[in-house]
Amino acid sequence: MPGQFFQKPGPELRDRVPPGQHLAKGFPVLTYGDTPIISQADWRFQVWGLATRKTFSWDDLMAMPQSEFTADFHCVTTWSKLDVQWRGVKVTDFMQAVELDPKATHVMQHCYGDYTTNISLDDFLREENFFAHTLFGEPLPAEHGGPLRLVVPHLYAWKSAKWINGLEFLSEMQLGFWERNGYHHRGEPWSEERYSSRY
């Protein structure tokens, strides 16, 4: 009974909920495959490609500026969750530690568990994007991507990689897992970029 889990947004929320989306009750989990379990001690994060190769530990991440975020979350399967509260590291703060080759224009997100998703460098470097390790005041649960996930609020949530462990900087667009399987290369919810026009 979908009515138990989704509701239509009232008029006051219509400018918050993109076309074709419904409000989720609770915070659904959407994972393709198994949930990797990674301890903070074992956790490593790498950057490579058109950036100086570098590995980060959990302590390196914790030494970066920490911020609070409230963001809406839109899954392409038509549920949205408003005002999700997170804590973590802004992408722009993280990128202070990365030496980027000026030829880089695109980014592939890599994860524990082998999920990938692509994003343009412009979409990636936006001020409102962040790496999250805390959800509603608690350590980010493994099913929601803990120890660390990316959150890109202005795109559908499949662009927000859970268990993210690497960024590969590229000079051209390459497609990630869902994008190779028919999803849109960008995934902007207000223009309903759900599926690739090539399919």
CA distances from 67 to 73, 121, 153 (A): 18, 22, 15
Least Å distance, CB 37 to ligand MTE, is: 13
| 86 near ligand MTE, rule: CB under 6 A | no
Between 90 and 116, CB nearer to ligand MTE:
116
Between 19 and 33, CB nearer to ligand MTE:
33
Least Å distance, CB 125 to ligand MTE, is: 19
- Of 36-44, 75-83, 86-94, 124-132, the window that binds Mo ion (rule: CB under 5 A) is 75-83
Q: Cβ atoms within 10 A of the Cβ of 53, count? A: 9
Between 29 and 63, CB nearer to ligand MTE:
29
Among 30, 37, 62, 63, binds Mo ion (CB under 5 A): 30
Question: Residues for the chain: how many in total?
Answer: 199
Between 54 and 194, CB nearer to Mo ion:
194
| 119 near ligand MTE, rule: CB under 6 A | no
Summarize as ranges the residues that interact with ligand MTE (CB under 6 A). 27-32, 75, 111, 113, 115, 144-145, 157-158, 160-163
